[in-house]
Structure 1
Amino acid sequence: MKKGFKSLIMLLIAACIFFSSVTVGNADDGSEKGYTYNYDYWGDIQYSPDAYSTVGVYTSVELKLDKGFNNATGMYVHGDTVYICDTGNNRIVKLQRTNTNTFELVRIIEYINGDIDVKTLSGPTDICVPEDGYLYICDKGNNRILKLDNDLNYVMEFTKPMDATFDQSTAFLPNKLEVDGAGRVYCIADNVNKGMIKYESDGTFMGFYGASEVTYDWTDYLWKKFATKAQRLALKSFVPTEYDNLYMDSEGFIFACTTNVTEAGIDNGTDAPIRRLNLMGKDILIENGNFNVIGDIYWGDAGGYKGSSLMTDITALDNGIYFALDKVRGRIFGYDTQGNLLYAFGGNGNLAGCFKLPSAIEHIGKQLIVLDSQNASITIFNPTEYASLIYKAIEEYDAGDYDASGATWQQVKALNGNYDLAYIGIGRALMRQGKYKEAMSYFKLKWDERNYSKAFKQYRKEWVEDHMGFIVAIFILIFILPMLTRKIKAIKHKIDVAKIFQD
């Protein structure tokens, strides 16, 4: 009897293991792998279907280069053309995307034509190719920014500003740059913490742009007040932080990111790793999400690093969605225009879709390209159905097609029932359709107080308008009728006590 009971228990355990393994094997949506995730209202990690799938990892072998990338640090996309700054090899590699999965080598940029003394590149770190087709190159080792035409003929160069506001004892080391439609150059240079260096199209130095606010600790400030001169010299100065990278979006605003942040600064909100700068250099980044735009909100020791995310580059799609690249944990964070985290994915390692030391991110359409300087490769990502539906829902809403947007968010919710933004997206679409009560229920489910308040305000207004007759009747019954009754009783009382009626 006892032996038979043990056998029954073993059979039940084996059945449970078998069916659970079958369930896991069929769940190929990314949620079991833990590759793509988000945070809910409470800050808990919610795994989701993969937003992007890896098309391929391309090294010098696949790209048919004569030698591998050496500390490649910069990348730029112009149409279907990809420029990669192969910094350690003193060259720029120009590639052409011929289809979704194929890139062909166009040329290697090493030498410059024209009337110029130094005709070779030295440690190029970034390149920008605006609509006019000119090439702007951060030729860092030669302390200059080059402007070349498409045939690599020398046009002009931007050098160290000879201005009192620029420390003349500091070498000019241009690291990253962007160029606007008028030919103005915005440059991030090493050892310059006053913001980006801004040049007019003719090379005139126009000052500094987008200087970050000075951050400091109050305890250090108080300590400096009472410290000796030697102690004060030993303390760090309160200076603005330097930027690491920049990207000009389709509206002409500049996204900037910095790794010069501290855990304390991230916690108290004084450090902003990502900014969006207007023409005046003021930060206009919208952060209406549950959490600030900081990447990971929990900082374990994933990837062998303990601390906040360090954003080394950023890119933005035409629909306003932008992606920040964390160089320490190899993760990509996608945000919408309101600062909501859409999804995060990636990691450190040798697997496809993971990185060793990512240094740059770009996009062609909605396809993402990540440059890994340590792995000497580029990784291509395509959006999955899940991400494509999210994009479609957002774009439909922005276009004013609220019915279609709500229906698309329903499809997203079907793929990921834990996705807060799907519920909020449905609620926003309903609110735009005037269905305020239904919208309130979706906002309430995901604790969206801001949109719930908006929907409730409109629902209250609508209810009052629809019930105005009833409200007036109640008002008459409660206030006017008692007043009339009292008035009638007073008149009756006067009549009753009048002498004319007492004779």
Structure 2
Amino acid sequence: MKRSMNCLAALIFSVSLLAGSTVAAYADDGSERGYTYNYDYWGDVQYSPDAYSTVDVYTAADLGLNKGFNAPAGLYVQGDDVYICDTGNNRIVQLKRENKNVFKLIRVIDEIKGDVEVRTFLNPTDICVTKDGYLYICDKGNNRILKIDDDLNFVMMFQKPDNVVFDQSAEFLPNKLEVDAAGRVYCIADNINKGMIKYDADGTFTGFYGASQVTYNFSDYMWKKFASKAQRAAMESFVPTEYDNIYMDTEGFIFACTTNVSDRGMDTGSDVPIRRLNLMGQNILIQNGNYRVMGDLYWGLGGGYKGPSLITDITALDHGIYFAIDKVRGRMFGYDKQGHMLYAFGGNGNLNGSFKLPSAIDHMGNDLLVLDSQDASLTVFTPTEYGNLIYQAITEYDAGDYTNSGKTWEKVKAQNGNYDLAYVGIGTSLMSQEKYKEAMKYFELKWDTKNYSKAFKQYRKAWVEEHIGLLFTGVILLFVLPTLIERGKKIKYQIDTAEIFKE
């Protein structure tokens, strides 16, 4: 186990063992207890009903292609259209989804038209299709990014930046890209660790975007200063992290992920595998969950690898939920906009819903599409009733329908009584309806101290407002009554004294 538990958790865990309580055991591959799981407040694995089911797995033959996929690397969804970068075959495959489990082959793009010297692709690795029909393609082997129209006519290309800030001795190898509403291109290129290469719509290089902050250990830094040349070469360089993939959400923010992480960096929190970048390239990813957004908390052997999750791609749904995929263990991790893990599922293997080497993930509505580079296939997942209830509860709450959101979370809890977010969701719904005392009970059950404090503060305020008259009367009695009593005693004494003198 790579993540240490706090003392209180360890104490409770020990007591539960001594008391004979049943504690969920963690299986490295998830096969012993179930397919879908999550982590509770204490970090224990909690298996749950499946949030997604597999629609089907599609090979090239299933999609009507005469030649099988060869190391496909890029995937993009635009409306009902799906574009696959069949990298090893130097082509782009365009499909249209006609119903839940039927995809129609629209065309194979392996050559473009127009005034361009090289009309074929060489190892295309990614594609982005804009709403106005333009296709942007990372033509990696030809050291260029192509922009073509829907009729495959050449429009322009983005090439190696001719600028002093770009290492002119480095080969330009564009690997992944995104395009915003203004036509600006954000590109991840191999061996570039200054962030993403950014171009204006006219192809002008405007600098680097989203470079990660350089972090280092002071002792390592001092050791490196006095180490020999050979020792320094063997040590990690104190340079920004290279990104592996990017995705632009509906709000125009860019999700970026990197597999350049280490055991130590993940333990300390210095490595950040997933970021959400604003216009300034700053990470604004919200992480209000019990644990950081990092994939698996425990790093058992999977896919011949023992270490942290290696997040190779990411996609964001329309209601703020996003999914990241681990290329070594084939697992998908769903998070809400606050950074709470909704569930994780998937794995390595040949069964439907498992992968050999996932290379890309995208979505169509709430359905997920995953491209497997080694298996040369496309897998489609659709939410189950349980998964749809979670989406419904989140959507209702975001729309301000707090009452129905709470009712939907009750249905989720009925299917999975161990699901922490159901209790938190019910509590949040009650708090939004100003039922603070009832909300506190749900937050207390799942150790949500932050929301409990909020609910308690509002409950205390409401109680004070409701009992202000009684409190005011009590204050008066507390401070005024003793004075009145004392004055009464004094008056009585004066009267009694006066009567004595008369006698």
TM-score, length basis structure 2? 0.91
- Give the alignment of 1:11-410 within 5 angstroms: 34-228=34-228, 231-410=231-410
Give the C-alpha shift of residue 502 in structure 1.
8.9
> Comparing 300-309 with 116-125, which one deviates more in the overlay?
300-309
Q: Give distance in 1, aligned partners of 2:282 and 2:208.
A: 12
CA contact (8 A) 2:420 2:446 kept: yes
Partner secondary structure for residue 292 of structure 2: coil
* Counterpart Cα distance in 2 of 1:32 and 1:292: 26
Query: How many pairs are equivalent?
Result: 474
The residue aligned with 1:23 is none
Task: Determine if the alignment matches structure 1 residue 417 to structure 2 residue 417.
Answer: yes
Are 2:406 and 2:430, in contact at CA under 8 Å, matched by a contact in 1?
yes
Question: Match of 1:16?
Answer: none
Structure 2 unaligned spans of 5+: 1-29
> Offset of 1:132 from its aligned partner?
1.3
Indicate the RMSD between aligned Cα atoms, in angstroms. 2.0
Closer, same or farther in 2 for the Cα pair 1:105/1:344, shift >3 Å? same
8 Å Cα contact 2:302-2:328 kept in structure 1 = no
SS at 2:246 equivalent: strand
Which amino acid is 2:390 matched to?
Answer: I
Q: In 2, Cα distance between the equivalents of 1:497 and 1:137? A: 108
Report how far residue 476 of structure 1 moved.
1.6
CA contact (8 A) 1:439 1:455 kept: yes
Partner residue in 2 for 1:446: 446
Q: Which moved more, 1:386-395 or 1:481-490?
A: 481-490
Q: Match for 2:270: what amino acid? A: T
Secondary structure of 1:389's counterpart equals helix
The structural deviation recorded for 1:483 is 3.0
C-alpha distance in 2 between matches for 1:95 and 1:319: 25
Separation in 2 of the partners of 1:295 and 1:407? 29
- Cα deviation, residue 464, structure 1: 0.6
Separation of aligned partners in 2, 1:324 and 1:359: 11
Deviation readout 1:380-404 (Å, 9 max, x if unpaired):
1110000000000000000011110
Is contact 1:31-1:49 (8 Å) kept?
no
Matched to 2:484, the amino acid is: L
How far 1:51 moved relative to its partner? 0.6
CA contact (8 A) 1:299 1:308 kept: yes
For residues 306-340 of structure 1, the C-alpha deviation after alignment (integer angstroms, 9 at most, x for no partner) is: 00000000001101100000000000000000101
Name the amino acid aligned to 1:242: E
- Compared CA separation, residues 487 and 189, structure 1 to 2 (3 A): farther
Output the CA distance in 1 between the equivalents of 2:103 and 2:127.
19
Measured in 1, the distance between the counterparts of 2:225 and 2:93 equals: 53
CA–CA separation in structure 2 for the residues paired with 1:233 and 1:372: 35
CA distance in 2, matches of 1:231, 1:405: 58
Verify the 8 A CA contact 2:176 2:188 in the aligned structure 1. yes
SS state at 1:216 partner:
coil
TM-superposed deviation, 1:268: 1.0
- Distance (Å, rounded) in 2 between the aligned partners of 1:416 and 1:372: 31
Q: CA shift at 1:482, angstroms? A: 1.6
1:374 maps to amino acid: Q
Deviations 1:72-93 (A, max 9, x none): 0000001000000000111111
Q: Secondary structure at the match of 1:61?
A: coil
**Residue identity matched to 1:404:** N
Matching of residue 485 in structure 1 with residue 495 in structure 2: no
Task: Give the drift of 1:488.
Answer: 4.9
Q: How big is the shift at 1:472? A: 1.2
- The answer (yes or no) to whether the contact 2:257–2:312 under 8 Å persists in 1 is yes
**SS where residue 303 of structure 2 aligns?**
helix
Deviation at 1:160, TM superposition (A): 0.7
3-state SS, counterpart of residue 255 of structure 1? strand
Aligned equivalents of 1:155, 1:422: Cα separation in 2: 50
2:8 is aligned to none
SS of the residue 1:247 aligns to = strand
CA distance in 2, matches of 1:399, 1:269: 34
Per-residue CA deviation, residues 355-389 of structure 1 (Å, 9 max, x unaligned), is: 00000001110111000000000001110000000
The corresponding residue for 1:474 is 474
Distance in 1, Cα, partners of 2:183 & 2:64: 34
Tell me which residue corresponds to 2:428. Answer: 428
Q: Give me the whole-angstrom Cα distance separating, in 1, the residues matched to 2:275 and 2:490.
A: 73
What is the match of residue 455 of structure 1?
455
Q: Would the aligned equivalents of 2:128 and 2:177 in 1 still touch at CA under 8 Å?
A: yes
Matched residues, percent identical? 71
Residues 83 and 127 in structure 1, CA contact (< 8 A), matched pair in contact too: yes
Instruction: Give how far 1:33 is off.
Output: 5.0
Report Cα offsets for 1:414-434 as digits up to 9, x if no partner: 111111111110000000011
- SS of the residue corresponding to residue 302 of structure 1 reads coil
Deviation of 1:221 (Å): 1.4
Q: Are residues 300 and 494 of structure 1, via their aligned partners in 2, closer, same or farther at CA, if it must alter by over 3 Å?
A: same
Cα distance in 1, alignment partners of residues 496 and 243 from structure 2: 91
Q: For 1:160 and 1:489, locate their aligned partners in 2 and report how far apart those are by CA, in whole Å.
A: 98
Say if 1:321 and 1:336, in contact at 8 Å, map to a contact too: yes
| TM-score w.r.t. length of structure 1 | 0.91
Once the two structures are TM-superposed, the CA of residue 495 in structure 1 deviates from its matched residue by 8.2
2-structure distance, mates of 1:250, 1:502: 96
Residue 304 of structure 1 aligns to a residue whose secondary structure is coil
The amino acid of 2:249's aligned partner reads D
Query: Which moves more between the two structures, 283-292 or 302-311?
Result: 302-311
Deviation at 1:122, TM superposition (A): 0.5
Whole-angstrom distance in 2 between the partners of 1:317 and 1:161: 33
| Corresponding residue number in structure 1 for 2:12 | none
Amino acid at match of 2:83: Y
Which residue number corresponds to residue 7 of structure 1?
none
* Distance in 1, Cα, partners of 2:31 & 2:156: 52
